Amino acid sequence: MAISLSSIARWSAASLLFTIYSDCCVKAATVTYDFNITWLPTNPDGQFERPTIGINNQWPIPQIRATVGDRVIVNVDNQLGNQSTSLHFHGLFQNGTTIMDGAAGVSHCGIAPGSKLRYNFTIDQPGTYWYHSHDAGQYPDGLRGPLIVEDPDAPYKDDYDEEIILTLSDWYHDSISYLMPRFLSVANPTGAEPVPNSALMNDTQNLEIAVQPGKTYLVRMINIAAFAGFYLWIEGHTFKVVEVDGVHTDPAETDMIYFTAAQRYSFLLTTKNDTDANFAIIGSMDQDIFDAVPETLNPNVTGWLVYDKKNPLPEPTLLDEFEPFDDFELVPADHEELYKNPDQTIDAFFNDVSYVRPKVPTVYTAMTTGDSATNPAIYGVNTNAFVLKKGEVVEIILNSADPGKHPFHLHGHNFQAVIRAEEEAGTYNGSTNFPAIPMRRDTFMVWPNSNVVLRFRADNPDKFCLSAPD
């Protein structure tokens, strides 16, 4: 996870730092990537050319691909010249290799200009992930891309013919170095996030995806946006959700999904048996999360399933309302039962209390203070630090007094989502009407002026952040 436009301020009262201590080690086979990170000019929406962070002088940046059990080595050479950087492999637990988590200042120092760093870790989680900078809000400048982990034992491995990777993202014409100071300025007292200039699908617009009739495709959807949530639908088609955030699920049929920044869905899409027409794929930014919507903004990005290039590409149909699938209803395929009897409960209020980055980076504090490293006070008053014991079941009651939707992501773990109250429900009322088999994922949304209850097992010793995706 990297720091988005919203998260330095929104990492505020919702930011929790977890420190757990233990030892482990992992061995695996090797896949190697060599990444030279540089600036290059791009114009993906056709409206404005701007400096963008690419890899090996290319943008969009390459996907990382591996198979469960592989050892992955990513050699990073920072040639940006004017900025440090890092890579976070969003959704991977890094159990035993948490120094590779990529959160600058928490798991390791940022990679200085002209410096190199080797990321070296084992992937033992199948599914759909992404990687991105986790240094000073940098990834909206372009340093973000898919990370796919193939699973030879996936429960749906025999149910599809081909795979499609599809990303959605917001796009800003201004750089983060320009936007961030204005976002955090006293001249922006409401904390209104900068509104994107456009939306992208696979880092472009007017995307065409060639498909064949009568086939089933595994579509891996990734929201790599800095801020925007998206509604996604494909005209004339339904699909079956089979994975969220690296968690295989029992199949769930729908015709529309909503996913926040950092969330991922995989679904099975079966094409029609004829080639008489092509069909629009629409990604629509959630305008409700924008404080003000510019008249010039087109919130939609459109692509097409192309059955026959000789047929026209139809304009998408306008919708009166959005009715997406409720991810809270998903059931993990492993049917893991509810974590009962939490050992520790953390009440987190998302309000106007600002997170303050510690003067001493967390990684330094944890590594140099000996026995005191388990005292949360040493990490700073406004870092909201909690120290957990390995193996504890931890419950987080997260109350949001904000009028907007907000996703939250925990490094190194998945949540069990045991309560998500309706919009405007206020603070948690103590309900214990928990599902026997809760939905599980690493990024979860709370409705406006509402609350969620999340549980996880502290089984990955080290330092982790809970925050708005960033």
| Whole-number Å distance between alpha carbons of 396 and 347 | 6
pLDDT of the residue at 378: 86
pLDDT at 468: 57
Report the pLDDT value the prediction gives residue 114, as an integer from 0 to 100.
98
Question: What Å distances lie between residue 16 and 222, 340, 349, 461, CA to CA?
Answer: 25, 22, 11, 15
Instruction: Name the residue type at position 97.
Output: T
pLDDT at 364: 77
Whole-model pTM: value is: 0.90
Distances (CA, A) of 158 to 2, 155, 327: 34, 8, 24
pLDDT at site 5: 38
Picking from 403, 390, 370, the residue whose alpha carbon sits closest to that of residue 464 is: 390
Q: Which pLDDT does position 351 carry in this prediction?
A: 52
Structure tokens at 462: 């080290």
On whether the CB atoms of residues 83 and 77 are closer than 8 A, the answer is no
pLDDT in tens, the chain (470 residues): 343 334 433 333 333 444 433 344 434 589 999 999 999 999 999 999 999 999 999 999 999 999 999 999 999 999 999 999 999 999 999 998 989 998 888 888 999 999 999 999 999 999 999 999 999 899 999 999 999 999 999 999 999 999 999 999 999 999 999 999 999 899 998 889 999 999 999 999 999 999 999 999 999 999 999 999 999 999 999 999 999 999 999 999 999 999 999 999 999 999 999 999 999 999 999 999 999 999 999 999 999 999 999 999 999 998 989 999 999 999 999 999 999 999 999 887 765 556 677 778 777 788 888 988 888 888 887 777 888 888 999 999 999 988 889 898 888 889 999 999 999 999 999 999 999 999 999 999 999 999 999 999 999 876 566 655 55
Residue 9 is predicted with a pLDDT of: 38
Cα dist from 368 to 104, 126, 361, 378, whole Å: 17, 35, 11, 11
Torsion of CA 122, 368, 7, 186, to 10 degrees: -160
The Cβ of residue 387 has, within 10 Å, a number of other Cβ atoms equal to: 17
Strand ranges of the sheet holding 70-78, from the earlier edge strand across to the other edge: 50-55, 29-42, 70-78, 116-122
Give the span between the Cα atoms of 97 and 278, in whole angstroms: 46
**pLDDT the model gives residue 387:** 83
H-type alpha helices, 86-136:
none
Specify the amino acid at residue 420: R
Q: What pLDDT was estimated at residue 404?
A: 87
C-beta atoms surrounding 276 within 10 Å: 10
